[in-house]
Amino acid sequence: MHYNTQQKRMPLPEYGRSIQNMVDHALTVEDRAERQRCANTIINIMGNMFPHLRDIPDFKHKLWDHLAIMADFKLDIDYPYEIIRKDKLITKPDCIPYSQVRMRYRHYGHTLEVLIKKTIEFPEGPEKQNLIALICNHMKKDYIAWNKDTVDEHKIAEDLYELSDGRLQLTEDISRLMADRLAHNYRPKANYTNTNRSSNQRRSYR
């Protein structure tokens, strides 16, 4: 008995050892026509393993590519498609450059700084005040998430003033808007104990 770990490593293990053995057998077939028929049979079996992928474009093309890979590109047959080249399998993707955006306070993030710049351009009015209140509430959440401590509005006011270069300020009106927003978004938890007790009492009277 031979364990799979003791056998030859499979290039595409998702097809299983049986398909790999078929491909290895096809490499030993000397007659070219017979070798072609063997390859076509293997492709049909591979396709039947994934019937849900038949409607995907280039599905058959990918199967022939996989056959060539499993044969280590040594199977001499007439491929119906231009198969992938062996040197393309080991190419590395281009490195993605790291973002070079500089932030004054990383715990607030770059998006908040962009939002502050956009808010500065807004004309004075209720819409701008509501947007400033939204920004300040978001700054409080970010500050607590990173520092895991309480934060007062005085600290938020200082940071907002600095990030906006003194063009946005946390006024008393905006503080009231912040409180109103928090009160509006707050949803008290349901008292499941009283609810269950009431439902049990109703059932007991039936």
Q: Is the residue at 102 inside a domain?
A: no
Residue 91's pLDDT is: 73
Above 50 in pLDDT, residue 192?
no
Q: Is residue 117 predicted with pLDDT exceeding 70?
A: yes
Tokens of 146: 């990173």
Question: Considering its fold, how many domains does the chain have in total?
Answer: 2
Same domain, 83 and 131: no
* Whether the predicted pLDDT of 24 surpasses 60: yes
Tell me, yes or no, whether 85 and 13 share the same domain: yes
* Residue, of 200 and 205, whose pLDDT is higher: 200
End position of a domain, from candidates 89, 124, 145: 89
Which of 12-26, 44-58, 99-113, 187-201: highest mean pLDDT? Answer: 12-26
Same domain, 84 and 16: yes
126 and 162 co-located in one domain: yes
Residue 75 shares a structural domain with residue 146: no
pLDDT of residue 30: 93
Domain end marker among 89, 123, 150: 89
Q: State pLDDT tens for residues 127-168.
A: 999 999 999 999 988 888 877 677 778 889 999 999 999 999
Residues 80, 22 share a domain: yes
Mean of pLDDT values over 72-91: 89
Between 103 and 17, the higher pLDDT residue: 17
Q: What is the mean pLDDT of residues 21-45?
A: 95
Q: Which domain holds residue 134?
A: 110-185
Are 85 and 138 part of one and the same domain?
Answer: no
Is residue 9 scored above 70 in pLDDT? yes
| Percent of residues, the chain, with pLDDT higher than 70 | 86
For residue 199, tell me if it sits in a domain.
no
Residues 142 and 83 reside in one and the same domain: no
